[in-house]
């Protein structure tokens, strides 16, 4: 049962070290125009009950009809998770009563899901990566929403969400720390967004997780787990895990036992509390939905979807490293969000010589652009500097028209006032001085004015940096520092 995990973060207790074991069940809303078994719209934010068909309202005698696009989305996701795609799967009824579930059951997949085992490679930040196994992915319906805050004496029900397709993605219990769990959800969300199968919007509840946590002494069998339901932010997932593991350790060290139960995380108090115990757990009486035939498709259908999959973050990262010599860290930063990878690729597409300047472009995207966006709390979608403007700046540096230092001034101008970088360089006279004679003249003047420094530099060649600084200053940063350095070394006989 030992998971393929390289490192663990152990927790200290008074009886020794403890290890956390974590497995996640992520619910991801499928991106589709209509619901899983009806033609009603999945659009967010309509008036309550605007998007409800007779099927979603569970009128007697209505028949569900599977939405082929939702099936394709689940298959795409399975492929993105390097998972087994099952050409035959079945739908079951999971029976329970809920005011916002008019059918009295949820159509889900129990014994035979559409997607089987897969894997997600997760970078944990410290340069290490772990493999988190995927147990399964199945399709199911979402429920509606009860509104308790509209009227002092009544509750209302909004069925707009009822019947919207969800993918439940179940991981193996392969994570050993809150950071690993956070990194896993971050990566999974990124894969879904690259694939376009779920928008990953956690604030709207379009991606949420049930978090299973247990603790054990290292090397011992798994302990009893508790499941924390419906956590809807990556930060809260981390906090809930830390709290829950500590709670379990305290109970075990006091000689108690962990009861398997379902808990809720309260972000205001920073703690989990019991919702229901295993004894109170529902017996869902799963049985095959008699209204739906087994879901079957051909391997040709799967192959067709596979051929059209976009490049995913792991492959993109490997390509950036290979093609442009980016560091693994820089490549990870660029691919982490689909929007930043797209932006970088848009810059690349406009470069005059991307083999030469691809790496320089990555530095500019990460350090100057992202750095500035972070500082000002903006994001890439609203960047004042466009991909083609940034690409023009990088071209100007790469071809030696401006120095990196001047380029920063130029970036500032483009950021605040806009404009075409190439014409700005002309009109503002920002071009680098490439006339060696002119540079030599400045160098000679500075040498002549500072005989004491010349003596010192002869004894201590690093002091040449002082001269370079002086030359840069007197030329307003418009000379190439390497050329200055070379000329100085010759003149000073270093």
Which residues have CB under 8 Å from 342's CB, separation 6+? none
Q: How many chain residues are in contact with ligand ADP, going by CB under 6 A?
A: 14
CB distance 198 to 168 below 8 Å: no
Distance CA 26, CA 237 (A): 11
Note whether 198 and 30 are within 8 A (CB).
yes
> Is residue 24 close enough to count as binding ligand ADP by CB under 6 A?
yes
Please identify, using beta-carbon distances, which residue of 95 and 475 lies nearer to ligand ADP.
Answer: 95
Q: Which two tokens stand for residue 334?
A: 């660029």
Show contacts with ligand ADP in window 25-64 (CB under 6 A): 25
- What is the total residue count of the chain? 494
Alpha helices in 167-233 (DSSP H): 178-195
Strand partners, 287: 93
Per-residue exposure over 354-392, b if at least 16 CB sit within 10 Å of its own CB, e if not? beebbbbbbbbbbebbbebbeeeeeebeebebebebbbb
Measured distance CA(462)–CA(467) in Å, rounded:
10
Across 399-425, b (16+ Cβ under 10 Å) vs e yields eebbbeebbebbbeebbeeeeebeebb
Nearest-approach distance from CB 216 to ligand ADP, in angstroms: 8
CB-nearest residue to ligand ADP: 23
Q: How far is the CB of 107 from ligand ADP (least distance, A)?
A: 18
Binding mask 411-430 vs ligand ADP (x if CB under 6 A, - otherwise)? --------------------
Does 401 participate in binding ligand ADP (rule CB under 6 A)? no
| Contact flag: residue 118 with ligand ADP (CB under 6 A) | no
| Interface with ligand ADP, residue 177, by CB under 6 A | no
We find the least distance from the C-beta atom of residue 68 to ligand ADP, in angstroms, to be: 28
- Residue of the chain from 118, 173, 200, 238 that contacts ligand ADP (CB under 6 A): 173
C-alpha 279/C-alpha 96 separation (Å) is 16
214 binding ligand ADP? (CB under 6 A)? yes
State which of residues 19, 23, 144, 361 lies at the interface with ligand ADP (CB under 6 A): 23
Which residue lies nearer to ligand ADP by CB, 27 or 35?
A: 27
Q: Do residues 75 and 300 lie in contact, with contact meaning Cβ atoms separated by under 8 Å?
A: no
Query: CA–CA separation, 172 vs 178, rounded Å?
Result: 15
Which listed range, 21-29, 74-82, 284-292, 361-369, lies at the site for ligand ADP (CB under 6 A)? 21-29
Contact between 113 and 136 (Cβ < 8 Å) = yes
Query: Counting contacts by CB under 6 A, is residue 172 touching ligand ADP?
Result: yes
180 contacts ligand ADP (rule: CB under 6 A): no
Q: Does 369 bind ligand ADP (CB under 6 A)?
A: no
Q: Is 241 in the site for ligand ADP (CB under 6 A)?
A: no
For ligand ADP, which stretch binds (CB under 6 A), given 192-200, 212-220, 408-416, 424-432?
Answer: 212-220
Q: Distances from the Cα of 82 to the Cαs of 137, 245, 305, in angstroms?
A: 12, 30, 13
Closest distance between ligand ADP and the C-beta of residue 23, in Å? 2
- Separation CA 144–CA 414 (nearest Å): 48
Binding piece for ligand ADP, criterion CB under 6 A, among 16-24, 75-83, 296-304, 364-372: 16-24
Nearest CA-CA partner of 391 in 413, 369, 376, 373 = 369
For ligand ADP, the binding residue among 86, 103, 141, 171 (CB under 6 A) is: 171
Question: What is the per-residue binding string for ligand ADP in 305-324, x denoting contact by CB under 6 A?
Answer: --------------------
The one among 177, 212, 401, 480 contacting ligand ADP by CB under 6 A:
212
What's the min distance (Å) between Cβ of 230 and ligand ADP?
14
Strands, E, within 184-331: which ranges?
207-216, 226-231, 261-266, 271-277, 287-288, 295-296
Q: Which stretch binds ligand ADP (CB under 6 A): 63-71, 171-179, 393-401, 426-434?
A: 171-179
SS3 state of residue 184? helix
Of 98 and 222, CB closest to ligand ADP: 222
Could you say whether residue 432 binds ligand ADP (CB under 6 A)? no
DSSP 359: H
Per-residue binder mask for ligand ADP (CB under 6 A), 57-96, x = binder: ----------------------------------------
Q: How far is the CB of 201 from ligand ADP (least distance, A)?
A: 22
The CA-to-CA distance between both ends of the chain, in Å, stands at: 65
Residues that bind ligand ADP (CB under 6 A): 21-25, 170-173, 212-214, 222, 225
């Amino acid at each position: 049962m030992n998971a393929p995990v390289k490192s663990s973060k152990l927790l200290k207790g008074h009886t020794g070290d403890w290890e956390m074991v974590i497995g996640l069940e992520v619910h991801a809303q499928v991106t589709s125009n209509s619901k899983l078994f009806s033609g009603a719209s999945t659009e967010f934010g309509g008036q309550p009950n605007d998007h409800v068909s007779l099927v979603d309202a569970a009128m007697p005698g209505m028949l569900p009809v599977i939405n082929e696009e939702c099936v394709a989305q689940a298959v795409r996701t399975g492929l993105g998770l390097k998972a087994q795609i099952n050409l035959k799967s079945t739908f079951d009824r999971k029976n329970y009563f809920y005011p916002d579930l008019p059918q009295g059951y949820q159509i889900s997949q129990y014994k035979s899901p559409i997607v089987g085992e897969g894997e997600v490679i997760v970078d944990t930040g410290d340069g290490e990566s772990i493999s988190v196994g995927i147990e399964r992915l199945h399709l199911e319906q979402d429920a509606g929403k009860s509104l308790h805050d509209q009227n002092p004496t009544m509750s209302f029900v909004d069925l707009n969400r009822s019947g919207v397709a969800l993918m439940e993605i179940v991981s193996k219990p392969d994570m050993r720390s809150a950071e690993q769990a956070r990194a896993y959800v971050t990566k999974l969300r990124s894969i879904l967004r690259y694939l376009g199968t779920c928008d990953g919007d956690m604030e709207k509840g379009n991606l949420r997780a049930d978090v299973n946590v247990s603790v054990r002494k290292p090397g011992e069998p798994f302990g009893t787990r508790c499941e924390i339901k419906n956590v809807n932010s990556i930060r809260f997932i981390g906090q809930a895990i830390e709290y829950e593991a500590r709670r379990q350790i305290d109970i075990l060290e006091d000689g108690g036992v962990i009861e398997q139960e379902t808990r809720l995380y309260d972000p205001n108090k920073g703690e989990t509390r019991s919702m229901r115990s295993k004894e109170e757990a529902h017996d869902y009486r799963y049985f095959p939905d008699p209204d739906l035939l087994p879901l079957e498709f051909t391997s040709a259908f799967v192959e067709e979807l596979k051929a059209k999959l976009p490049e995913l973050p792991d492959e993109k990262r490997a390509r950036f490293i290979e093609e442009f010599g980016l560091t693994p860290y820089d490549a990870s930063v660029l691919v982490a969000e689909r929007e930043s990878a797209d932006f970088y690729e848009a810059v690349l597409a406009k470069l005059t010589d991307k083999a030469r300047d691809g790496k320089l472009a990555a530095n500019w995207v990460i350090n100057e652009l992202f750095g500035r966006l972070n500082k000002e709390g903006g994001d890439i979608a609203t960047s004042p500097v466009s991909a083609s403007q940034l690409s023009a700046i990088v071209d100007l540096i790469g071809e030696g028209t401006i120095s990196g230092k001047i380029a920063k001034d130029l970036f500032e101008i483009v950021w605040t006032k806009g404009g075409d970088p190439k014409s700005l360089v002309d009109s503002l006279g920002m071009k680098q001085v490439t006339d060696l004679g002119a540079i030599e003249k400045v160098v000679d003047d500075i040498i002549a004015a500072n005989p004491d420094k010349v003596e010192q530099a002869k004894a201590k060649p690093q002091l040449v940096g002082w001269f370079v600084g002086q030359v840069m200053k007197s030329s307003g940063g418009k000379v190439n520092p390497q050329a200055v350095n070379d000329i100085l070394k010759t003149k000073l006989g270093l």
